[in-house]
Amino acid sequence: MASHRRPKPASRTRVTVLTATAAAAVALSAQAASAAPAKPSKPTSVKDAKAQVDTLYSQAEQATEKYNGANEKLKSLQTEASTLQDQVARQQEHLNTLRDSLGTIAASQYRGGGIDPSLQLFLSSNPDSYLDQATALDQISSLQSSALQQLQDAKRTLDQERAEATAKLAELQATRTELGQRKNEAKTKLAQAQAILNSLTAAQRQQLANDDARANRSTDRVDLGDAKPATARAASAFAYAQGKLGKSYVYGASGPNTFDCSGLTSWAYRQAGVTIPRTAEEQASAGTRIYSESKLSVGDLVIFYGDYHHVGFYAGNGMVLHAPKPGAVVRYESIGNMPFQFGVRI
Q: Which residue numbers are catalytic?
A: 261, 310, 322
CA angle 15, 17, 20 (to 5 degrees): 105
What is the DSSP code string of 133-150? Answer: HGGG-TT--HHHHHHHHH
Please give the backbone phi and psi of residue 279, each rounded to the nearest 5 degrees, phi first: -100, 155
CA distance 325 to 61: 8
- Position 75: which residue type? K
Strand (E) or helix (H) holding 262: helix 261-271
Q: Hey, CA dihedral for 246, 250, 255, 256, is it positive or negative?
A: negative
∠ CA 273-278-281, nearest 5°, is: 125
Q: How far apart are CA 18 and CA 181, in angstroms?
A: 19
Whether residue 180 contacts residue 28, with contact meaning beta carbons closer than 8 Å, is answered with: yes
